[in-house]
Amino acid sequence: MFSRTVQNSKGILCFIKEFNSDLGTVFGNGDRNIIKLFDLDGKIINIKSFKIPNIVNKVAYKYFRKSKAKRSFEYATILLERGIGTPEPLAYFEKFNSIGLRDSYYVSEHLEANLTFRELVEIPDYPDNENILRQFTKFTFDLHEKGIEFLDHSPGNTLIKKEEGNTYSFYLVDLNRMNFHESMDFDMRMTNFSRLTPKKEMIAIMSNEYAKYYAESESAVFEKMWQFTVQFQDEFARKRRLKKKLKFWKS
């Protein structure tokens, strides 16, 4: 296990060893990876157990690529260094066998948030919706200005916490897919919005806000942002249809 300066690293290691027991509280739906919450000396920590990789990735993660757990830890550290919100990274753990990587875990402080971006998509009349959306857009612009391309910039991966007045703080989670650049061009920035929402009215608000800070017209920002959104939604729908066909033929 590699960790930052954590006073009770033995406690974290104990939680990891007992992860599959009744110890801890399951957080979320656990459809791919499993997240559990544990009390460590009065502080709630979040331990994410990544799905055991297939045979090819077992070998790749041992010899050629960093594991998702290690990337999550390292990227969280970079985000904090660059002034971007994410739950405090505490440790990561990897277990290898003769073939390659078997188990891996990412440990961070647990952050209590008021909502995620998903609520803005699914609840149109969510309180202060437009203000939150505009502040989120400025947050994303700041990511881009710092050369951070968050490849999983999707509805469930930004935690939103209400602060004093009508201000909000944003925290990225599910961090294992990121690129870091010296600068990001226009298409790269606009593509980064494509997974967030299929709603044209939300794209209109985000493009209006983004254009306040970027050297392109509002119409140009909207057209590109909407173009990449439609492309993503079409591809997503195509893949879903294909999965349904495969399930049909298997059954």
For the chain, what is the domain count?
A: 2
pLDDT of residue 238: 86
Same domain, 122 and 99: no
Q: Which of 90, 109, 128 is the last residue of a domain?
A: 109
pLDDT-based confidence at residue 3 (cuts at 50, 70, 90): low
**C-alpha dihedral sign at 53, 58, 62, 63:** negative
pLDDT of residue 143: 98
In a domain, 189, yes or no: yes
In a domain, 17, yes or no: yes
Same domain, 97 and 211: no
Look up residue 221 and give its two tokens: 């920002």
In a domain, 248, yes or no: no
pLDDT digits (tens, 9 = 90+) for 5-28: 566 688 899 999 999 898 899 998
CA distance 194 to 233: 8
Nearest to 145, CA basis, from 229, 217, 214, 223: 214
Q: Which of 48, 82, 109 is the last residue of a domain?
A: 109
Same domain, 128 and 220: yes
108: pLDDT strictly greater than 80: yes
Continuous segment of H or E residues that includes residue 105: strand 101-109
Same domain, 102 and 10: yes
Q: State the residue range of the domain holding 207.
A: 115-238
CA distance 234 to 227: 11
- CATH code, 64: 3.30.200.20
In a domain, 219, yes or no: yes
pLDDT of residue 32: 79
In a domain, 208, yes or no: yes
Average pLDDT over all residues of the chain: 92
Same domain, 45 and 96: yes
CA distance 114 to 168: 10
Same domain, 38 and 88: yes
Bridge partners of 25, per DSSP, are 37
In a domain, 250, yes or no: no
Same domain, 15 and 71: yes
